[in-house]
A = this chain, B = another copy of it.
Amino acid sequence: MLSKNKIKIINSLVNKKFRDEFGLFVVEGEKIVSEILASNFKVEEIYCLPEWNKKNPKVKNVVEINESELKKISSMNAPNQVLALVKIPEYDLDYNELASSLILGLEDVQDPGNLGTIIRTADWFGIKDIICSKKCVDVFNPKTVQATMGAFCRTRLHYSELSEFIQKMKSAKKSFPIYGTFMKGENIYEEILSQNGMILFGNESVGLTKEIEKLVDKKLFIPDYPAGNQSSSLNVAVATAIICSEFRRRN
């Protein structure tokens, strides 16, 4: 049985303001909840239908609810058995560890679905850390969480002043190349790409700002086909996928 007040709190977590206030976010559905239970995230409470509880007898802090209650607290069109309240984690930035890794930098990415898809792609390609400018959409937005399909459990997102961060990384390690994607850049298929460094992607409408562009060591371009066709751009999550694939290709 769910109290009115509990329903109100859970529903409030669609807003970043209340996620910050309570230090909690919501994860929904069988697949993502099972991923979060297998991760280091701290699950505070689980609300589920009796059928989910039967299948997962060892899980603690479980509250059984009925379908109509699940509908009241879910932000999905078709709620899927289970919803978890999870503590928002805090990660420390280890500049030395980051300096030898390949990481992503996102400037003002606004669409929750794009951010979620980027996290899912980063996970596929073994990229563990993503530095987001403070104007990026929040990773614990329900739409972002769902679009990651659980990949956010294996990826650390850091919200930071992007230009300051890049400058710190450059001074922490001599060889830490900064890559960015531009309409005027070098053909990515012809470049020798580093195994460490940062790949930057910009806002859906305006791309990277001039301030960040100045910090880029190597401008990359994904060639259109045939060259100079009428197409105008790629979706940012799509550009991220093609670039990550190039950095990680093995043949």
How long is the Cα–Cα vector from A113 to B225 in the complex, in angstroms?
Answer: 23
Interface segment among A13-21, A60-68, A116-124, A161-169: the answer is A116-124
Residues of B near A149 (CB, < 8 A) are: 232-233, 235
Closest chain B residue to A120, Cβ basis: B235
Contacts of A242 in B (CB 8 A): 241-242, 245
- What is the interface residue range for chain A against chain B? 35 or more
A234 in contact (CB, < 8 A)? yes
Q: A232 vs B147: C-alpha distance in the bound complex, in angstroms?
A: 13
The complex places the Cα of A189 from the Cα of B249 at a distance, in Å, of: 7
Contact: B154 with A238, CB < 8 Å?
no
Minimum distance in angstroms from A239 CB to a CB of chain B: 8
Copies of this chain in its oligomeric complex: 2
Instruction: Give bound CA distance, A242 to B238, whole Å.
Output: 8
**A76-119 vs B: 1/0 string, CB under 8 Å?**
00000000000000000000000000000000000001000100
| Given A123-B231, A232-B150, A233-B149, also A117-B241 (CB < 8 A) | no
- CA of A150 to CA of B44 in the docked complex: distance in angstroms? 45
A125 partner residues in chain B, CB cutoff 8 A: 224-225
Q: Which residue in chain B gives the minimum CB-CB distance to A102?
A: B225
Contact A121 to B250, CB < 8 A, known contacts A150-B232, A232-B149: no
- Residues of chain A touching chain B, judged by Cβ–Cβ distance below 8 Å, are 113, 117, 120-121, 123-126, 147, 149-151, 154, 187, 189-190, 222-226, 229-235, 237-238, 241-242, 245-246, 248-251
Sample of 12 further A-B pairs with CB below 8 A, known A113-B113, A121-B238, A238-B241: A117-B235, A120-B235, A123-B231, A124-B222, A124-B229, A126-B224, A126-B229, A150-B232, A154-B230, A187-B251, A225-B250, A238-B238
